[in-house]
A = this chain, B = another copy of it.
Amino acid sequence: MGGIADVAKRAGVSKATASRALTGAGYVSPTTRQKVVSAARELGYVASTSAVSLATGRTRNVGVIMPYVNRWFFAEVLEGIQRSLLERDLDLTLYDAKPGTVGRQRIFDDYLARKRFDGLIAVGLEPADHEIERMHAIDRPVVMIVGDEGTTCTVGIDDDHAVRRATEHLIGLGHTDIAFLGGGGADWAMVDRRRLSGYEAAMAEAGLADRAQHVQSEVTLPGGYAAAADLLGDTRRPTAVVGVCDEVAIGAMIAARRLGIRVPSELSVVGIDDHEFAEMFSLTTLEQIPREQGSAAVDLLLQQIAQPDRPPVDVRLKARLVVRASTAPPDTRA
């Protein structure tokens, strides 16, 4: 079936010439090229990817490894990456590496070593040391989204900046009783720790260090709901909440409504993300655009693939404050 040999024969040229004409590498006279191209089209010729890879050492495929695909941020990033790759005629192989699963182990131990890709994008992976080692061992460029700047390229928002803006926004409105909701527990992500620190720093700088309060919560919408339900059930509750992300913040808003606590008059809520639900909940938040981070990562990766020796770049975006109706000055009638 339709190998390049058939195309060559039909065009009356050699395999070599056919290859040159089709790939665009090397000289071919315009007329010959035309003949080859027509022959290929007539035969419905499509090059075998494995043969091409074997011969060139390039897979025209990018690996994407992430711990979740069902959370807003990750799904958006994935879409951004996919769209970018699609434009460039590149494939995408997905690795779902949930923390603490044997699947993740297999991915790092076996899958990566197979080098089915020219480069790897790791999203919010929080890799352990031996995992980082594996990633470097494969000798392919790596770009991380949400990771620490270091030896590899990195894309992400400035978390410290974002959470400070969030906290300062509340402080600026007059709040002093501001809780930070989200994170904590066993496998607590670095992002979430960073955000907590930023919150604490902002509180301290405003002389509110002793009012700072961290409420643990799973970093999901139901998680935020559950944690907030506990927190707000108490009569001695904060007047404002910073959610570690919008999902948690929205969970808190829903919990507040259930408890009959009015947002924003009785409780102000800020998030970080600008999640697809943020507008519907009128959530004040710090906007990040994961799709753009995805395509930025692709750009960086392709640069690294083209020039492996370039020093690692660090793209650190500033999140923009989007004020909606979930924040207001504290109710002073109390």
Per-residue CB proximity of A21-60 to B under 8 Å, as 1/0? 0000000000000000000000000111111011000010
From residue A246, how far is it (CB to closest CB) to chain B in Å?
13
Q: A48-B54, A70-B72, A106-B86 are in contact. Are A222 and B277 (CB under 8 A)?
A: yes
The reply to whether A89 and B110 contact each other, CB–CB distance below 8 Å, is: yes
- A305 contacts across to B, CB distance below 8 A: none
Q: A50-B54, A114-B49 are in contact. Are A79 and B96 (CB under 8 A)?
A: yes
For A50, give its contact among B50, B225, B279 (CB under 8 Å).
B50
Grouping DSSP codes into helix (H, G, I), strand (E, B) and loop, the A interface class, with mixed when no group exceeds half, is helix
From residue A17, how far is it (CB to closest CB) to chain B in Å?
22
For A103, give its contact among B54, B70, B83, B221 (CB under 8 Å).
B83
The reply to whether B69 and A96 contact each other, CB–CB distance below 8 Å, is: no
The reply to whether B221 and A280 contact each other, CB–CB distance below 8 Å, is: yes
Per-residue CB proximity of A89-105 to B under 8 Å, as 1/0? 10111101000000100
Q: A69-B79, A79-B70, A107-B86 are in contact. Are A49 and B94 (CB under 8 A)?
A: no
The reply to whether A82 and B59 contact each other, CB–CB distance below 8 Å, is: no
- A220 contacts across to B, CB distance below 8 A: 276
From residue A323, how far is it (CB to closest CB) to chain B in Å?
19
Output the nearest chain B residue to A89 by Cβ-Cβ distance. B110
- A113 contacts across to B, CB distance below 8 A: 46
The reply to whether B70 and A91 contact each other, CB–CB distance below 8 Å, is: no
Give the number of times this chain occurs in the complex, counting copies: 2
- A280 contacts across to B, CB distance below 8 A: 221-222, 225-226, 251, 254
- A72 contacts across to B, CB distance below 8 A: 70
For A91, give its contact among B78, B93, B257 (CB under 8 Å).
B93
The reply to whether A222 and B54 contact each other, CB–CB distance below 8 Å, is: no
Total number of A residues with any Cβ neighbor in B under 8 Å: 48
A205-225 residues at the B interface, CB under 8 angstroms = 220-222, 225
Q: How far apart sit A233 and B82, CA to CA, in the bound complex (Å)?
A: 40
Q: A78-B69, A82-B94 are in contact. Are A116 and B49 (CB under 8 A)?
A: yes
Per-residue CB proximity of A139-181 to B under 8 Å, as 1/0? 0000000000000000000000000000000000000000000
The reply to whether B222 and A279 contact each other, CB–CB distance below 8 Å, is: yes
Per-residue CB proximity of A105-120 to B under 8 Å, as 1/0? 0110011011110000
The reply to whether B82 and A75 contact each other, CB–CB distance below 8 Å, is: no
A76 within 8 A of partner (CB): yes
From residue A88, how far is it (CB to closest CB) to chain B in Å?
11
From residue A3, how far is it (CB to closest CB) to chain B in Å?
12
From residue A210, how far is it (CB to closest CB) to chain B in Å?
33
Q: How far apart sit A110 and B94, CA to CA, in the bound complex (Å)?
A: 20
For A93, give its contact among B93, B257, B279 (CB under 8 Å).
B93
From residue A235, how far is it (CB to closest CB) to chain B in Å?
23
Extra 8 A-B pairs, beta carbons < 8 Å, given A86-B107, A226-B280, A254-B254 = A48-B54, A50-B53, A50-B59, A69-B69, A78-B94, A83-B103, A91-B116, A92-B94
